């Protein structure tokens, strides 16, 4: 779609407002809106200004002026606004130099795709993320000097099984038990119609959906799977995914969280990320007759993912809450191994289909608190490092890695157990990200500094509610 096409679409759809969207460094969509009369072909060439110092991870106040350039190919009519509104995803540039902004995560993703082509290894990377989330009826949380709490509730939560019913809110008793939500039909599944509405809204925004269902955990844990796409387009779609699911839930009087571990002692929410490399229309990860029909290139790509996983986690599982999920016993992919069909390994080779087109790897460690542009780009760079250096991932482990004897389990490397630890790993291991100037040292240093100051220290310095149960009476 060209700028001229965007103007024609705006006229055809009687658009009144144009919403300009871009991503901050932690991964949250930001926006501002202009009347449609301000939309012109010149806007796509000249950009529109905004204050970069007010955006997390961007500019200092003394260099705050920045420009947004709408990407004409991203035009979508927003299905949630009462006033007819067109949304455009934007790229960020420096108004002085005219150069693309190195801390713009979308630019990082674009550079990753360009770098892939420059290597000659492949011309396309396909990404297929599986985002999981919880649908809740209430989410209360607050912090102060002398208190801190959260309280979540969901009519579908099994903890409500003993709740006293009322005429306004009867207790009908159908709820998935802890770890048994995969996947009963209605009435135990409370959210069939809500998920279907989410799917329709996503497809109205150009996001192709393959399947939706209840996930393993109680309290409305959900998965809606998108059809795979190229890296930048897929990251754009992840943001539409979050936008559509949250706003559809709001219309139903509910709320959505993508926190990896909001519910104690139940399964967490991941973002299993399927990946494959292609060249001239051929899937380079397929080779008939090898282990799980994967090629040597695929094995080396896996080798890169597993080698760099402790550093990758700082970008693909980048919250303190991520490490409440990445613990044994909850289908958590903490074991640095690969296997066909085996969901206890960090990298799984799906075996649903013998088709060449379907051959891919599934990296199970990422979660939806990541910035998708940075996460997908980092995964690609780690995999390419594996291909370029022929990194051997070792032998596959076709066993339940959670039930290995202690002696055997000790030989399987595991992921670090905290955000602080993976940031340390990223600090030591990031040269693979710098190839092709895809990531810059400045971006990596800014990311590490932001995470340590605003998240690691913020949690480390605060008393935890459970500490009062442990220590108050000592």
Which residues does the annotation mark as catalytic?
51, 130, 132, 215, 223, 272, 343, 362, 364
289: left (phi over 0), alpha (psi -120 to 50) or beta: left
Count CA within 13 A, CB hemisphere, residue 311: 18
Whether 393 and 308 have beta carbons less than 8 Å apart is answered as no
Half-sphere exposure of 131 (CA within 13 A, CB side): 30
Looking at the DSSP bridge assignments, the partners of residue 222 are 133, 214
Integer Cα distance of 53 and 430 in angstroms: 26
The CA–CA distances, whole Å, from 102 to 93, 98, 106, 249 equal 9, 12, 9, 35
How many CB atoms within 10 Å of residue 272? Answer: 21
Tell me the three state secondary structure of residue 34.
strand
Question: Quick check: 273 and 315 in contact, CB under 8 A?
Answer: no
- To which residue do tokens 């399927």 refer? 274
47, 67 Cβ separation under 8 angstroms = yes
Q: Spell out the residues 6+ positions from residue 396 whose beta carbon is closer than 8 angstroms to its own.
A: 291, 292, 337, 338, 339, 340, 345
- Asked whether the beta carbons of 444 and 430 are under 8 A apart, the reply is yes
Q: In the chain, how many H helices and how many E strands?
A: 14, 18
78 torsion bin: left (phi>0), alpha (psi -120 to 50), beta (else): beta
157, 163, 218, 346 from 173: Cα distances, Å: 10, 9, 13, 36
């Amino acid at each position: 779609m060209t700028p001229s096409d965007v103007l024609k679409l705006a006229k055809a759809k009687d658009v009144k407002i144009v919403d300009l969207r871009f991503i901050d460094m932690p991964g949250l969509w930001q926006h501002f809106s202009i009347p449609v009369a301000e939309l012109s072909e010149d806007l796509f060439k000249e950009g529109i200004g905004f204050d970069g110092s007010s955006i997390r991870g961007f500019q200092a106040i003394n260099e705050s002026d920045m420009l947004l350039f709408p990407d004409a190919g991203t035009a979508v009519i927003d299905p949630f606004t009462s006033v007819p509104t067109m949304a455009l995803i934007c790229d960020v540039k420096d108004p002085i130099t005219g150069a693309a902004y190195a801390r713009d995560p979308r630019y990082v993703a674009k550079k990753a795709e360009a770098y892939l082509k420059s290597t000659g290894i492949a011309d396309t990377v396909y990404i297929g993320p599986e985002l999981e989330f919880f649908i809740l009826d209430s989410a209360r949380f607050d912090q102060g000097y002398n208190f801190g709490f959260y309280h979540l509730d969901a009519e579908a939560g099994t903890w409500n099984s003993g709740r006293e019913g009322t005429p306004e809110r009867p207790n009908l008793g159908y709820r998935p038990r802890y770890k048994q939500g995969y996947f009963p039909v209605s009435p135990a599944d409370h959210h069939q119609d809500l998920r279907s509405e989410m799917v329709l809204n996503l497809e109205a925004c150009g996001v192709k959906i393959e399947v939706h269902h209840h996930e393993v955990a109680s309290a409305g844990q959900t998965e809606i799977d998108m059809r795979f796409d190229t890296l930048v387009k897929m990251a754009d779609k992840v943001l539409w995914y979050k936008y559509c699911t949250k706003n559809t839930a709001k219309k139903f009087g509910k709320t959505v969280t993508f926190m990896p571990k909001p519910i104690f002692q139940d399964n967490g929410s991941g973002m299993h990320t399927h990946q494959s490399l292609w060249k001239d229309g051929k899937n380079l990860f397929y080779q008939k007759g090898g282990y799980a029909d994967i090629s040597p290139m695929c094995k080396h790509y896996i080798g890169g993912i597993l080698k760099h996983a402790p550093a990758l986690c700082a970008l693909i599982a980048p919250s303190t809450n991520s490490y409440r999920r990445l613990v044994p016993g909850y289908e958590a992919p903490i074991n640095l191994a690969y296997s066909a069909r085996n969901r206890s390994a960090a990298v799984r080779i799906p075996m649903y289909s013998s088709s060449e087109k379907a051959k891919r790897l599934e990296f199970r460690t990422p979660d939806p608190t990541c910035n998708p542009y940075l996460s997908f780009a980092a995964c690609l760079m780690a995999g390419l490092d594996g291909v370029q250096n022929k990194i051997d991932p070792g032998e596959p482990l076709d066993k339940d890695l959670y039930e290995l004897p202690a002696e055997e389990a000790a030989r399987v490397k595991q992921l670090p157990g905290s955000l602080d630890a993976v940031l340390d790993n990223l600090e030591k291991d990031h040269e693979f990200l710098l190839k092709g100037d895809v990531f810059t040292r400045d971006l990596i240093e800014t990311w590490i500094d932001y995470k340590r100051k605003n998240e690691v220290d913020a949690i480390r310095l605060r008393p935890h509610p459970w500490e009062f149960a442990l220590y108050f009476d000592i």
